[in-house]
Amino acid sequence: GKNWIILGGMALVLIIEDDEIIRSSFAELLKLQGYEVVDTADGDQALQFCREIPPDLVITDLLMPGKEGIETITELKRDFPGVKIIAVSGGGSQGAVSYLSAAKALGADRTYQKPLKPQVLFDAVAELLDDESPGE
């Protein structure tokens, strides 16, 4: 089983992505950057996990079987208003753009189209986690 024990002081990043190759490569790369990473294949799994341990930041794909990203973002924002969200979509150029703007409207902090360079992702994660200034 997975070990959900979170080490002190490390930000917890939750990845929701149905493509296992993308998911595991993002997870590995973020772990190398010093984050605690949990990855799930769908929104339902992710939301169950969040209810046990709310993450600091969520990276979610938008087009997934089961509970897709737009719905997942809506629920995350409702139940965990403080969580930072990065939405990623590869759903065909036109489709991706409209999905991403919907995600932004629902509260995603950053939206990107696939393919996404890892550096772009790291910069966004670092930026979003850095501005956790006390008293917000």
pLDDT of residue 36: 94
Structure tokens at 91: 């759903």
Mean pLDDT, the chain cut into blocks of 10 residues (136 residues total): 53 93 93 94 92 95 79 94 92 74 94 89 92 48
pLDDT of residue 91: 63
pLDDT of residue 128: 94
Q: Please tell me the pTM assigned to this model.
A: 0.85
- List, in sequence order, every residue forming a beta bridge with 15; answer none if it has no partner: 39, 59
pLDDT of residue 93: 61
> Cα separation of 76 and 14, whole Å?
12
pLDDT of residue 114: 85
Cis check for the bond before 54: say yes or no (omega within 30 of 0).
Answer: no
Coil, helix or strand at residue 88: strand
pLDDT of residue 92: 64
Structure tokens at 37: 């990473």
